[in-house]
């Protein structure tokens, strides 16, 4: 009896075991999530174009500092052109500007009537120019003082002439007054017959002569005063004209100084450009000039630099039916087929661009969208050092989409079949 029941019990246990397995599997499948991925094949491309180094002004090659294949950093010198011509222009312009600064300081002092405050000389040429301007300042001050002294002396002489003319007026006025008084006294005496008429005529003649002389003396005072006014105006004019001349020279000097000073930065920049430097870190791809002393023209390519980057760019072909789940910024895993992915792993990256329209490969008859993925590293790590990845290497790319449960993943073909079933 017991032996007859045991197979039935075993079958029951097997049944419930299978049911339990499916229940547990369905529970796990409804809870466990997997990434929805879009896969595509692609290749690594250069993320930067070759940097072609050329000269803006041209010149003669003085020194070649790099060779093909040499690694360079940003701002490393690559090649030097002969700086003689540019350096000479810069030196001449700087010297002229320095001399003009000294001249401006002297003229400002002359106009303000103070001692000049010259800038500190930067070199021997500037020190020589400083001595020249100091001597010129002293000489011009001496000339000014000489002219002022002469004008002051003329003014003093004119004032002395006024004083003498005024004394002459006083003396003549006294004589004229005395002559008039004498004539006035003689007139009644002549009328009474006491004095002869000749005495009155003589006295009136002397009075008239004195009056005429007084008028001349007063005219002389006027002329002397006019000379004083002219001498004073001449004194003012000497100082005014001297300062006006200095102001005119100052304006011209400042204008030229401004022009020269504005040219200096451009010449300094031009001199700095005689040393051609790498704009980026990378590797020298080609040196296009190999002879020292050779002439190069404006814009002529001289050195090619292949930029190095800390990331890679991968172009991936995505099927049109998968493009709907691809978006900018989407996470990606990139496997390089040249290296065993089970050993060296994959690179992480993100989608950076998606082509706006599909592309037709006429040779293969394929239609695809071109998606570019930027990696987070430029090499695969290994025990023996990083494995370099270069342009042209083939990549197996997985674009990670939204998560879905295992159950949804299993049912997707059935749901797709349901949507397309019974259609002609």
Tokens 């105006």 locate to 233
- 73 pLDDT exceeds 70? yes
All CATH 2.40.50.100 domain ranges of the chain, comma separated, are 51-82+274-307
C-beta atoms surrounding 21 within 10 Å: 10
At residue 135, the 3 state secondary structure works out as helix
Beta carbons of 380 and 344 less than 8 angstroms apart:
yes
d(CA 390, CA 57): 36
- 5 pLDDT exceeds 50? no
H or E stretch covering 200 = helix 197-272
| pLDDT score recorded for residue 190 | 64
C-beta atoms surrounding 42 within 10 Å: 21
- Looking at every residue in the chain, the average pLDDT score rounds to 80
Q: What does the CA dihedral 47, 50, 54, 56 come to, rounded to 10 degrees?
A: -30
All CATH 2.40.30.170 domain ranges of the chain, comma separated, are 28-47+309-420
Beta carbons of 370 and 315 less than 8 angstroms apart:
yes
Domain 87-271 indexed as CATH 1.10.287.620: yes
The tokens for 149 are 């002294």
100, with CB counted inside 10 A (0-12, 13-18, 19+), is buried
pLDDT tier at 176, thresholds 50, 70, 90: low
Which whole number is the average pLDDT over 157-164? Answer: 74
Strand partners, 360: 367
Q: Which positions ≥6 away from 282 have C-beta within 8 Å?
A: 51, 71, 72, 305, 306, 307, 308
What is the per-residue pLDDT across 85-124, written as a single tens digit (0 to 9) for each?
888 888 888 888 888 888 898 888 888 888 888 888 888 8
**What is the separation of C-alpha 389 from the centre of its chain, rounded to a whole number of angstroms?**
40
d(CA 307, CA 313): 13
Beta carbons of 283 and 309 less than 8 angstroms apart:
no
CA distances from 334 to 48, 122, 193 (A): 20, 62, 155
pLDDT tier at 134, thresholds 50, 70, 90: confident
Q: How many residues does the chain have?
A: 424
pLDDT tier at 2, thresholds 50, 70, 90: very low
| pLDDT score recorded for residue 121 | 83
Percent of the chain with pLDDT over 90: 17
What is the per-residue pLDDT across 366-380, written as a single tens digit (0 to 9) for each?
999 999 999 888 788
pLDDT tier at 319, thresholds 50, 70, 90: very high
Q: Of the segments 177-186, 211-220, 231-240, 310-319, which one has the largest average pLDDT value?
A: 310-319
Beta carbons of 368 and 323 less than 8 angstroms apart:
no
Strand partners, 72: 282
Domain 28-47+309-420: which CATH number of 2.60.40.420, 3.40.190.10, 2.40.30.170, 2.150.10.10? 2.40.30.170
C-beta atoms surrounding 280 within 10 Å: 15
CA angle 414, 417, 419 (to 5 degrees): 115
Q: Bigger pLDDT: 58 or 407?
A: 58
**What is the separation of C-alpha 101 from the centre of its chain, rounded to a whole number of angstroms?**
23
Q: Which positions ≥6 away from 194 have C-beta within 8 Å?
A: none
| pLDDT score recorded for residue 276 | 92
Domain 51-82+274-307 indexed as CATH 2.40.50.100: yes
Query: Which of 37, 22, 80, 94 has the alpha carbon at shortest distance from 263?
Result: 94
| pLDDT score recorded for residue 1 | 41
Q: Bigger pLDDT: 184 or 338?
A: 338
Q: Which positions ≥6 away from 399 have C-beta within 8 Å?
A: 37, 38, 39, 40, 316, 318, 325, 326, 330, 331, 332, 351, 371, 373
| pLDDT score recorded for residue 182 | 65
Q: Bigger pLDDT: 187 or 302?
A: 302
- 172 pLDDT exceeds 80? no
pLDDT tier at 27, thresholds 50, 70, 90: low
pLDDT tier at 65, thresholds 50, 70, 90: very high
All CATH 1.10.287.620 domain ranges of the chain, comma separated, are 87-271
CA angle 11, 17, 19 (to 5 degrees): 105
Q: What is the pTM of this model?
A: 0.50
CA distances from 18 to 6, 25, 264, 424 (A): 18, 10, 92, 39
Beta carbons of 287 and 348 less than 8 angstroms apart:
no
């Amino acid at each position: 009896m017991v032996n007859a029941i045991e197979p039935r019990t075993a079958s029951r246990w097997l049944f419930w075991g299978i049911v339990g397995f499916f229940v547990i599997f369905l529970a796990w499948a409804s809870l466990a999530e997997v990434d929805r991925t879009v896969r595509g094949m692609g290749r690594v491309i250069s993320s930067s174009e070759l940097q072609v180094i050329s000269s803006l002004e041209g010149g003669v090659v003085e020194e070649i500092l790099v060779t093909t294949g040499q690694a360079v950093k940003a701002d490393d010198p690559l090649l030097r052109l002969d700086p003689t011509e540019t350096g000479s222009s810069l030196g001449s312009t700087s010297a002229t500007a320095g001399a003009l600064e000294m001249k401006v300081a002297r003229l400002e002092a002359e106009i303000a009537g103070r001692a000049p405050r010259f800038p500190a000389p930067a070199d021997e040429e500037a020190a020589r120019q400083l001595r020249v301007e100091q001597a010129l300042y002293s000489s011009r001050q001496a000339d000014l003082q000489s002219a002022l002294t002469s004008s002051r002396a003329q003014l003093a002489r004119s004032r002395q002439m006024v004083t003498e003319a005024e004394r002459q007026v006083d003396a003549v006025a006294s004589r004229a007054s005395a002559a008039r008084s004498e004539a006035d006294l003689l007139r009644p005496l002549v009328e009474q017959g006491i004095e002869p008429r000749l005495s009155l005529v003589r006295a009136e003649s002397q009075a008239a002569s004195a009056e005429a002389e007084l008028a001349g003396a007063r005219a002389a005072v006027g002329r002397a005063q006019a000379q004083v006014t002219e001498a004073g105006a001449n004194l003012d004019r000497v100082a005014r004209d001297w300062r006006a001349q200095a102001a005119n020279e100052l304006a011209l000097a400042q204008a030229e100084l401004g022009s020269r000073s504005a040219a200096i930065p451009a010449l300094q920049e031009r001199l700095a450009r005689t040393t051609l430097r790498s704009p980026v870190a990378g590797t020298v791809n080609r040196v296009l000039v190999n002879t020292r002393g050779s002439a190069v023209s404006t814009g002529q390519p001289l050195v090619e630099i292949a930029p190095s980057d800390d990331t890679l760019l991968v172009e991936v072909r995505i099927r049109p039916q998968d493009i709907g789940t691809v978006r900018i910024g989407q996470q990606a895993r990139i496997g390089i087929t040249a290296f065993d992915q089970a050993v060296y792993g994959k690179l992480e990256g993100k989608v950076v661009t998606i082509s706006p329209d599909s592309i037709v490969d006429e040779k293969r008859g394929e239609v695809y969208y071109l998606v570019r993925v930027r990696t987070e590293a430029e090499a695969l790590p290994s025990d023996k050092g990083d494995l370099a990845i270069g342009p042209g290497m083939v990549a197996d790319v997985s674009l990670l989409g939204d998560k879905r449960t295992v159950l949804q993943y299993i049912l997707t073909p059935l749901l797709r079949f349901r949507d397309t079933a019974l259609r002609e």
